[in-house]
Amino acid sequence: MPYRPARSAMKKFGLDKTDPDMLEYLRKNFREYRTAPEKLSDEQLKTLRTLYDACIATADKRLARLFRLVNSSRHRDNTILIITSDHGEQLGEHGLLNHWFSLYDTLLKVPIIISSPKILPKPMRITQQIQQHDLFYTILEMAGYDGDKINPDSIKSKSFLQNIAGKNPYPEYTFSQQAYAKMTLEHVKKYNPSFDNERWVCSKQAVRSEQFKYIKYGTGWQELFDIKSDPGETKNIIKDHPDIANNLNEQFETIKTIKKQPQHDSTDPKNFDPEIKKRLEDLGYI
């Protein structure tokens, strides 16, 4: 936010016929409503989602230009293209309008597209879960890294290529975590003093199997979802299946990267470099 798709995408999605005052409101006042979606009418929320779709179409069109450029290059066979995202976007799901606060799949489940004619000559779709964390090791293997900074066995134990080749099993569990920045809360309170932070403003950890997703919050709240039958994570079934939740909770002990998080990150934006602070302000984070 604010979503500003290309004119061609605006026309494609019918946004060129949308009330310009509504579009102006959605773009200028996103800091006020993104933590208070109830302030938007159904029509405004629908338009906001359409704006987001148009932005995705804009990115898609620009990626197509990149693909054409690479495909016309004599270096195509020696080029690796990787497209992914840092997060998704909540557009009303769980009562949220942003990419903060949660560890739901709305934010976590992002595309990873890899193209390399030499290394991956046949098109395929991976349906098993993988972790973006391991993309680093995949790139190292694809690039033929043989330096002494990273153990080759470590690369081969985590690279997607090893999973695809059937040499390593896909991970049974994937993990995520979020520390909550105090400065984000201060920013939210500035525009929405009534923001209910009890549920959202705390550290969170999640573990996901192929069927279930378990989330535990720094406040003690816990959630369990059957993501096969309930991909929108709308029904918390932890009371019905405490044994599954306990098993997933135990998986946190199996990896070193998941650590106990403080309730807040107390970073003070006053100490930021002026240029970094300006960028964060432009993005709406402070």
- 11-62 pLDDT, tens digit per residue, is 999 999 999 999 999 999 988 888 888 889 999 999 999 999 999 999 999 9
Mean pLDDT of the 236-251 span: 97
The mean pLDDT of 213-218, rounded to a whole number, is: 95
pLDDT of 268 reads: 61
Q: What is the pLDDT of residue 160?
A: 94
Lowest mean pLDDT among 137-141, 145-149, 225-229: 145-149
Position 127 in a domain: no
- The answer to whether residue 99 is domain-embedded is no
Rounded Cα gap, residues 58 and 81, in angstroms: 19
Among 177-181, 217-221, 259-263, which range has the highest average pLDDT?
217-221
pLDDT for the residue 131? 92
Q: How far, in Å, CA of 90 to CA of 26, rounded?
A: 15
Q: Is residue 46 part of a domain?
A: no
234 within 8 A of 213, measured Cβ to Cβ: no
The pLDDT of residue 6 is above 90: yes
Do 183 and 269 contact (CB within 8 A), yes or no? yes
Percent of the chain with pLDDT over 70: 92
Per-residue pLDDT tens over the stretch 123-132: 999 999 999 9
Domain-located, residue 227: yes
Q: Per the structure, how many domains does the chain have?
A: 1
pLDDT tops 70 at residue 261: no
- Give the structural domain span for 216: 172-286
* Poorest-pLDDT segment among 15-19, 67-71, 240-244, 281-285: 281-285
Asked if pLDDT for residue 258 goes beyond 60, the answer is no
Q: Which CATH number goes with the domain that contains 253?
A: 3.30.1120.10
In a domain, residue 286? The reply is yes
103 is a domain residue? no
The C-alpha atoms of residue 156 and residue 153 are separated, in whole angstroms, by: 5
Instruction: Determine, yes or no, domain membership for 89.
Output: no
CA 214, 215, 217 angle in degrees (round to 5)? 155
Mean pLDDT score across all residues of the chain: 89
Predicted pLDDT of residue 280: 75
